[in-house]
Amino acid sequence: MVERRKTREVKIGNVKIGGNNPVLVQSMCNTKTSEVNATLKQIQGLEDAGCEIMRLAVPDLDSAKCFGDIKKQVSLPLVADVHYDYKIALECLKQGADKIRVNPGNIPKEKLKLIVEAAKDYGTPIRIGVNTGSLPNDVVKKFGHGTKAVVEAALGTLKFFESLDFYDTVVSLKSSDVLQNIEANELFSRVSDYPLHLGVTEAGTARSGVIKSSIGVGCLLMKGIGDTIRISLTADPVEEVLAGHTLLRTLGLREGAVLVSCPTCGRSKIDVMKIANEIEKRIMRIEKPLKVGVMGCFVNADEAKMADIGVAGSDDCGIIFRNGKVLRKVDKANLVEELMKEVEG
């Protein structure tokens, strides 16, 4: 059982993070925010997959206005991701952003001050998103580009926010170097109780990104560090959400159904890969603890018994089982639907 680090509670729209709240799964749209309908469609798909906080890139003032149009039509907390131009952040606040993400490496302090003052008026939290690729110049001069620089950039910005009497802050310290990512977040969490958003930046494709994030984010979660996570992938963002929930469930940080499926072999009687992928997507919305198995055959009964509910392939049909005991035979074409009936029943 992971003992979580005690952090300050921060409210983002209709959800709370930090404190005793569960670790939440975040993702980011890869549509253009100015394309409102396409973005709304993607948000809906991500919400259906289990996304709990959504971030949108806001590269210009037109996009900031579209952010407002989108905000009016979604219930998920919506975070505006702003770089360089403080006026965009001010417009996003006006448009009802639930949180603003700023990078202290590319917005000067005098402009950050204007964002902080406006955020205070609107009661909107800010995420200080520090990234090794874009550290503030004064920090680089003093500390270089290593772990200490990342942590100092976050702590220095937090101190600046506090000098403006602003405490409604979330922090992220991201690096594409997995070990540096772990080290920076560990170091930060020893000296600060602000909530942390975790992620490995530029982690790569669905294959390498999931591996890097499982290590980079998973190691920190195991130590009780982290209040929200994003599994950044060069892939459909739905994959980020599914991977995020799988990681949290694997570590016992969130309750929910998990998939166990066999690797298949020459004995397999059903299309395990297709069925397992479909079942995995659907069970992400099941929040009761449950192991759902998809097995190519019943030869190895012990494998099947590892699942609470499952299906195993047979010569002319599929066999639905519960706790290792056969419930019924079903037509191979209906395996997903029949298995989901048992899961949801």
Kindly tell me which of 225 and 295 has the beta carbon lying closer to ligand SF4: 295
Q: What's the N-to-C CA distance of the chain in angstroms?
A: 28
User: Shortest gap between Cβ of 22 and ligand SF4 (angstroms)?
Assistant: 34
Kindly state the smallest distance separating residue 304's Cβ from ligand SF4, in Å. 7
Comparing CB distances to ligand SF4, the nearer of 200 and 297 is 297
Chain centroid to CA 92 = 22
Which residue number, 156 or 313, has a Cβ lying nearer to ligand SF4? 313
- Looking up tokens 């990512």, which residue turns up? 181
Shortest CB 332 distance to ligand SF4, Å:
14
- CA-CA distance, 103 to 133, in Å (whole number)? 11
Contact 90, 114 (CB under 8 A): yes
Supply the minimum distance, in Å, between the C-beta of residue 296 and ligand SF4.
Answer: 3
Which residues contact ligand SF4 (rule: CB under 6 A)?
262-265, 267-268, 295-297, 299-300, 303
Strand extents, DSSP E, the chain:
10-12, 15-17, 24-28, 53-57, 78-82, 99-102, 126-131, 169-174, 197-198, 228-229, 257-261, 290-295, 309-313, 318-322, 325-330
Q: Which is nearer to ligand SF4, 21 or 314 (CB)?
A: 314
The distance of closest approach from Cβ of residue 53 to ligand SF4 in the complex, given in angstroms and rounded to an integer, is 37
Residue 29 or residue 297: which is nearer to ligand SF4 going by CB? 297
Query: C-beta of 17: minimal distance to ligand SF4 in Å?
Result: 40
CA separation, residue 301 to residues 141, 163, 310, 324 (Å): 62, 64, 12, 7
Residue number, nearest CB to ligand SF4: 296
Q: Which is nearer to ligand SF4, 121 or 316 (CB)?
A: 316
Name the residue among 255, 229, 253 with its Cα closest to residue 243.
229
- How many CB atoms are closer than 10 A to CB 293? 23
